[in-house]
Structure 1
Amino acid sequence: MKIRKEDVYEHLEMLYEIVGDEKYLEIIRMYGGSNLYIPTYKATIRNSRNREIRKRYNGVNLSLLAAEYGMSVNNLRNIVKGD
């Protein structure tokens, strides 16, 4: 089934433009009528970012990583400890 942009509720137009009509209909079929929480970008990438930090940590480069990731040394220390 083909839908047009004017068939889409105004508050979902951006979603429609991002995913296209086929994926939009798939999302509507799966989640239509329910409340769907979409986490923030920052929350979504947190685990991946933390894995990358642990991989790059060499025991002495916390300050460098803190500057690169825009985080405090204390936050990075907690990440590399696994907290």
Structure 2
Amino acid sequence: MINKLKLEDVPDAYKDLAEEIGFEAFKKLIDFTGGGVIYIPQLSAINACVRNREIRENFNGNIKELSKKYSLSEMQIRRIVKEEK
């Protein structure tokens, strides 16, 4: 039935979301969540994951350099480098 869904069938409370992400993506989201609750992380959390990956990729013992580049403490750089991803 989801393939027969039209934008006019969507309750007003969800139309903005459908229009923002695109109607096909909206239908996929409905199919995926099935009425369940999902958590959407803040952009800052996702950006931190990217930053931490870059730190691990660029680490070659240069803790002070990375600390300055990313405006983090040397302790934070050490913690990130030790994380396994």
* TM-score bracket, shorter-length normalisation: 0.5 to 0.7
- The percentage of counterpart residues that share the same residue type is 34
Aligned length: 80
Shift of 1:76: 0.3
Does 2:38 match 1:76? no
Where does residue 57 of structure 1 map in the other structure? 59
Deviations 1:11-53 (A, max 9, x none): 662x323320011011112214211112222333444432321
1:63 aligns to what SS in structure 2?
Answer: helix
Which residue identity lines up with residue 25 of structure 2 in the other structure? K
Does 2:57 match 1:21? no
Which residue identity lines up with residue 43 of structure 1 in the other structure? A
2 CA distance for matches of 1:78 and 1:30? 35
Where does residue 42 of structure 2 map in the other structure? 40
Tell me the C-alpha RMSD between the 2 structures. 2.7
1:28 aligns to what SS in structure 2?
Answer: helix
Does 2:13 match 1:10? yes
Displaced runs of 4 or more, over 6 A? none
1 CA distance for matches of 2:27 and 2:40? 17
1 CA distance for matches of 2:49 and 2:40? 16
Runs of at least 5 residues in structure 2 that lack an aligned partner in the other structure: none
2 CA distance for matches of 1:19 and 1:63? 41
2 CA distance for matches of 1:69 and 1:8? 44
